[in-house]
Amino acid sequence: MLMPAAVLIVLVLAALTVDLSLVHLGRREVVAATEAAANDAVTAGLSEATFRAGGGYKLDPTRVDRAVRAALDARGLLDRLEDAPHVTITGTTVAIRLALRVDYVFARALPGFDHSAVVAAQGSATAVTR
Amino acid sequence: MTPVSSRLRGDRGTVGGIEALPFGVLVFVVGSLLTANAWAVVDVKLAVTSASREAVRRYVEASDHDRAVNEATVVARDAIRSHGRDPDRAHLRIDHAGGRPWGRCTRVTMTVSYPVPALSLPWIGGYGDAFEVRADHSEIVDPFRAGLPGASRC
């Protein structure tokens, strides 16, 4: 009687380990995505017209937003986001916050467990003149 | 004393439900293999994710195309090796958005793939190639960076 229960418990714990590892992978992915998008946007988002006119390093919100979306689209993440990317521009810093839904593999088969989890991350990049 | 031939005749002394034990063992073995294989995928995913990210970072910060390819390949292999995997089995693919050459504003996507065996056994290794685990990372070559030829055309 105890042995089948023990086997079942071991398998369920192993399945939970794999599912939580997938969530961890998803978190790593969204962290890398925010950092890459911020890094792209902080340079590609430069307002060249302002810069050429002597106005210094100013970020154009439209160009920043376009760069962020292009970066996320290249990774195939745009369709998997919980909501639209939250982009904040402060001086020469671009900060991005993303929330990504990660599907479980094993937990979907267990009653009472969620089928997915939402992971969030924030990344920023600052353009520094040398 | 009862002769052996008499004792082995008939069903007396047989444990009821003993035929279910092989099925229990089978479920345990199959479940363990399934979980081990899933973990192997997770482990390889960690390795290829790191490799693609490091490779792209090095690629977009290199000073020219040839050096970018060489350095990206080296760091991707190092990342795979540091995760305890064989870098010779990894495959690195480099894509430029729109077919643009390496240069300012070019979006680079690198995909690192690695085969996962169908059956992973501890100490013995794996058998067969079930599927490939892939990870990609994408960034643009800095449009206004010093040291690169040509104008920025984003």
What is chain A's mean pLDDT, rounded? Answer: 89
Task: Collect all residues of chain B within an 8 Å Cβ-Cβ radius of residue A21.
Answer: 39, 42
Q: Is residue B53 part of a domain?
A: yes
Q: Percent of chain A having pLDDT more than 70?
A: 99
Decide which of B14 and B25 is more confident: B25
Residue of A nearest to B153 (CA): A44
Judge whether residue B5 has pLDDT over 80: no
Can you tell me the mean pLDDT for B124-131?
A: 73
Does some domain include residue B25? yes
Count of domains forming chain A: 1
User: Alpha helix locations (H) across chain A?
Assistant: 2-44, 48-52, 61-74
Instruction: Place A73 in a pLDDT band, splitting at 50, 70 and 90.
Output: very high
Residue A50 belongs to what domain range?
Answer: 2-126
The average pLDDT across B94-100 equals 90
Which segment, B2-11, B40-49, B123-132, is predicted with the most confidence on average?
B40-49
Nearest to A105 among B38, B49, B152 (CB): B38
The three state secondary structure string of chain B is CCCHHHHCCCCCCCCCCCCHHHHHHHHHHHHHHHHHHHHHHHHHHHHHHHHHHHHHHHHHCCCCHHHHHHHHHHHHHHHHHHCCCCHHHCEEEEEEHHHCCCCCCCEEEEEEEEEEEEEEECCCEEEEEEEEEEEEEEEECCCCCCCCCCCCCC
pLDDT beyond 70 at B30? yes
| A105 shares contact with chain B (CB less than 8 Å) | yes
How many distinct structural domains can be found in chain B?
1
pLDDT at A126 over 60: yes
- What are the angstrom distances between the C-alpha of B31 and each of A12, A18, A83, A124, B37? 10, 13, 36, 42, 10
Structural domain including B37 reads: 21-140
Which one, of A49, A43, A58, A65, lies nearest residue A127 by Cα?
A43
Residue among A109, A25, A100, A118 at smallest CA distance from B39: A25
Question: Mean pLDDT across the stretch A89-100?
Answer: 94
Structure confidence at residue B98 (pLDDT): 87
Domain assignment of residue B45, yes or no: yes
Is B137 within 8 Å of B59 (Cβ atoms)? Answer: no
At B51-75, the pLDDT tens digits run 999 999 999 999 889 999 999 999 9
Tell me the two tokens of residue A64.
């920043």
Confidence (pLDDT) at A42: 93
Compute the average pLDDT of residues A29-45: 93
pLDDT > 70: percent of chain B: 88
Residue B101 located in a structural domain: yes
CB A7 to CB B28 under 8 A? yes
Strand partners, B93: B111
